[in-house]
Copies of this chain bind each other. A is one copy, B any other.
């Protein structure tokens, strides 16, 4: 398998090392990280960055780098590609700027202002509707008219690799007349991606789908862990709250929209056609990003327990990310660099592509079999869930690495 981090990718992240423990900006290439504080020491970026601007690479989040704007993201990328292609050319990267990934600790790449979660996969929304409401009218009346979304909790978004503690809370068990308190018994993952806002906007600014490229920095993998039983009891009428806010996991490398541009694909035919403010002008509004979910039980190892339990794709989003952005701002809501907008669970039409255990076990009724013979309806303590994502392949592969988390009791 070729690397996720080819020269066509060059995602940005925040890393530190034991020797130099200050978190700082890095760019992934193969199994190495380019330490951007060292890369910027020479003249590499002098044509478009002042000395003061170069200090953004010393910071513990990408926010100030992102705030420099799209033309800077593009130029940094181009200069790095040139330097990596012709190491003896005009643009040079010093040897000591390369850090082996195995030596690095990855951190949350951005300071998230607000985190929004959409609900934009039609198969996911339909599955949930069939399970909990009316199979004949699985989608609610508003679903095909707007990208339904809600505000999530930003403080509890953690970087990949962070353990996830099973939350306790109130639940109303089936048939009970009083709620009970205890650890969630229906702990789930949600297979999502999320985009990161790249430009501040003032209150009152309304963006269109065509503004997407100028206003979005990049995409990460996102696991919106969910306690289905807590959520089920609390969510009417104001939406998910404690069933989600105990933790959400994010991949450490932000893949830029620039790197993903070659993988644009057509979207769904939207019927009825959306209102004008939501209409796409881009004939290729979706992205062909392959997604997979692997579960490793506590008892398992690489050979016996590791099971890929879902293979999905970001192209299964009915509402494009550009439509999400336009909808989010149509009321004048302001955005800040680092705001995170997640897709909602991405399920495809086939059962093998469903993006949550809620769907894969059909609400717990149909246990899933793992490679080692164990079964799962929801997550056990000790289970590790890993998402991977990539576009393209071979030398043109643009991958996300992974987002992983282990459930602790």
Determine whether the beta carbon of B170 is less than 8 Å from that of A146: yes
Tell whether, in the assembled complex, residue B246 and residue A331 are in contact, meaning their CB atoms are under 8 Å apart. Answer: yes
Q: Are B235 and A179 in contact (CB under 8 A)?
A: no
Type the 1/0 row for A229-241, where 1 means its CB is closer than 8 Å to any CB of B: 0100111111111
Instruction: Mark out the residues of chain A between 275 and 326 whose CB falls within 8 Å of any chain B CB in the assembled complex.
Output: 275-277
Residue pair A330, B169 in contact (C-beta under 8 Å): yes
Known: A145-B179, A152-B151, A276-B181. A168 touches B237 (CB 8 A): no
Give min CB distance, A243 to chain B, whole Å. 8
**A277→B152 CA distance, assembly (Å):** 23
- Tell me, yes or no, whether A215 is within 8 Å of chain B by CB: no
List the B residue with the shortest CB-CB distance to A230. Answer: B331
Among listed A34-42, A45-53, A154-162, interface-contacting one: A154-162
Q: Complex formed: what's the CA distance from A149 to B275 in Å?
A: 31
Judge if A98 is at the interface, Cβ distance under 8 Å: no
Question: Which of the 9-residue segments A2-10, A83-91, A333-341, A370-378 touches chain B?
Answer: A333-341
Identify which of B156, B234, B240 contacts A238 (C-beta below 8 A): B240
Q: In the complex, what residues of B have CB within 8 A of residue A150's CB?
A: 150-151, 238-241
Q: Flag whether A393 is at the interface (Cβ < 8 A).
A: no
Number of interface residues of A (CB under 8 A): 61
Q: Mark A155-191, 1 if CB is under 8 A from B, else 0.
A: 1101000000101111010000011010000000000
Q: Report the copy number of this chain in the oligomer.
A: 2
Identity of the chain B residue whose Cβ is nearest the Cβ of A236 in the assembled complex? B140
A169 close to B238 (CB less than 8 A): no
Q: For the complex, what is the distance from the CA of A235 to the CA of B150, rounded to whole Å?
A: 9
* Interchain CB contact under 8 A, B148 and A151: no
Cα–Cα distance between A113 and B230 once the two chains are bound (Å): 24
Q: Give min CB distance, A63 to chain B, whole Å.
A: 13
Q: How far is the CA of A236 from the CA of B272 in the complex (A)?
A: 19
Known: A170-B275, A246-B333. 17 other contacts (CB 8 A): A140-B237, A141-B172, A142-B170, A142-B172, A142-B233, A146-B179, A151-B152, A151-B239, A155-B334, A155-B336, A158-B203, A168-B206, A168-B330, A169-B331, A178-B272, A236-B237, A246-B331
Cβ-closest 9 pairs across A and B: A239-B239, A167-B331, A151-B151, A150-B238, A246-B331, A242-B331, A245-B333, A238-B239, A181-B275
Q: Which A residues form the contact surface with B (CB < 8 A)?
A: 113-114, 117, 119, 140-142, 145-146, 148-156, 158, 165, 167-170, 172, 178-179, 181, 203-204, 206, 227, 230, 233-243, 245-247, 272, 275-277, 327-328, 330-336, 339
